[in-house]
Chain A
Amino acid sequence: AQSVTQPDIHITVSEGASLELRCNYSYGATPYLFWYVQSPGQGLQLLLKYFSGDTLVQGIKGFEAEFKRSQSSFNLRKPSVHWSDAAEYFCAVAGRGSQGNLIFGKGTKLSVKP
C-alpha cells in the first residue's frame, strides 16, 4: 500500500541550529514528492517538490530536501533554524499523473527554542 511515514511527531531545536526532518515513503514507482508547512491556524503552503532530475531540491525559506531512491527517503533540511520556522511540516507523495491526489504523512511539529 502507498504510505508516507514521518517518524518524528515533535522535534525541538535551538534557534540557529541545523534541522533535519525525516520522511520515508512506500510507493510502487518513483513518485512526486513534496514538503508542505502549516503555521498555526493556517492552511498548508508548499515548501518544495521533487519530480525528477537533481536529487537535491531547493525550496522557499532556505529549506532543501534530498531524494534518496535506495532509502525511499525525502528528508527536509535547513542549516540554521529561525524562530519563525516553528510550524508543522508534512511530507507527501503523489503518483505521476495523479493530478494532485496526494498522500500525506502525519506531520512533524517543530518547536524552536530561543
Chain B
Amino acid sequence: DAEITQSPRHKITETGRQVTLACHQTWNHNNMFWYRQDLGHGLRLIHYSYGVQDTNKGEVSDGYSVSRSNTEDLPLTLESAASSQTSVYFCASSDTRATGELFFGEGSRLTVL
C-alpha cells in the first residue's frame, strides 16, 4: 500500500543546532506539504512543493527550508533550531489531478531545549 512516512518520530535537540525532518511518500504525488501543529493554533503551513525543484513559502516559513530533488521526498530543515520551533510537524501529499485531498504522515515531535 502507498504511504507517507516521517522520521524521526521524536527528536530532542538544542537551541542553535541544525535539524532535518524527513518525509517520504510512495503515492507518486506531485504535491507535498509541511505543517506544524501547536495547541491553540491548529495546523499552519510551513512550506510546500508542487513538483521537483519547486518550493514555496507558507504562512510560517521563517527559520525553515525545504528542497525537492525527487518526487518522493521533501525534507524540512531547521537551520538553527529555536525553542519556538518546539512543535509537532506533519508532512502531507496530494495528487495534482485530485481536488485537494491531503494524505498525512504520522507526525514528528520536535523538542528544542
Knowing A43-B90, A43-B107, A44-B90 are in contact, say whether A102-B102 is a contact too (CB < 8 A). Answer: yes
Query: Contact at B42–A34, with CB atoms within 8 Å?
Result: no
What are the residues of chain A within 8 A of B98 when measuring CB–CB? 100
Roughly how many angstroms separate A86 CA and B2 CA in the complex, as a whole number? 27
The smallest beta-carbon distance between A42 and chain B, in angstroms, is 6
* A63 CB within 8 Å of chain B: no
How does the 8 Å CB contact mask read for A18-34 relative to B, with 1 for contact and 0 for none?
00000000000000101
* B31 CB within 8 Å of chain A: yes
Number of interface residues of B (CB under 8 A): 27
Query: Contact at B104–A44, with CB atoms within 8 Å?
Result: yes
Roughly how many angstroms separate A46 CA and B33 CA in the complex, as a whole number? 16
Taking a contact as CB atoms closer than 8 A, the residue among B42, B92, B104 that contacts A105 in the complex is B42
* B25 CB within 8 Å of chain A: no
What are the residues of chain A within 8 A of B48 when measuring CB–CB? 100-101
Query: Contact at B107–A51, with CB atoms within 8 Å?
Result: no
* B101 CB within 8 Å of chain A: yes
Roughly how many angstroms separate A104 CA and B100 CA in the complex, as a whole number? 12
Query: Contact at A106–B42, with CB atoms within 8 Å?
Result: yes
* A71 CB within 8 Å of chain B: no
How does the 8 Å CB contact mask read for A73-114 relative to B, with 1 for contact and 0 for none?
000000000000000001000101011111011110000000
What are the residues of chain B within 8 A of A102 when measuring CB–CB? 100, 102
Query: 17 extra interchain contacts, Cβ-Cβ under 8 A, other than A46-B102, A99-B96, A106-B41?
Result: A41-B106, A41-B107, A42-B107, A43-B92, A44-B43, A44-B104, A46-B101, A49-B100, A49-B101, A90-B42, A100-B94, A101-B48, A102-B100, A102-B102, A104-B42, A104-B44, A105-B42
B→A interface (CB under 8 Å) = 30-31, 33, 35, 40-45, 48, 50, 90, 92-96, 98-102, 104-107
A→B interface (CB under 8 Å) = 32, 34, 36, 41-46, 49, 51, 90, 94, 96, 98-102, 104-107
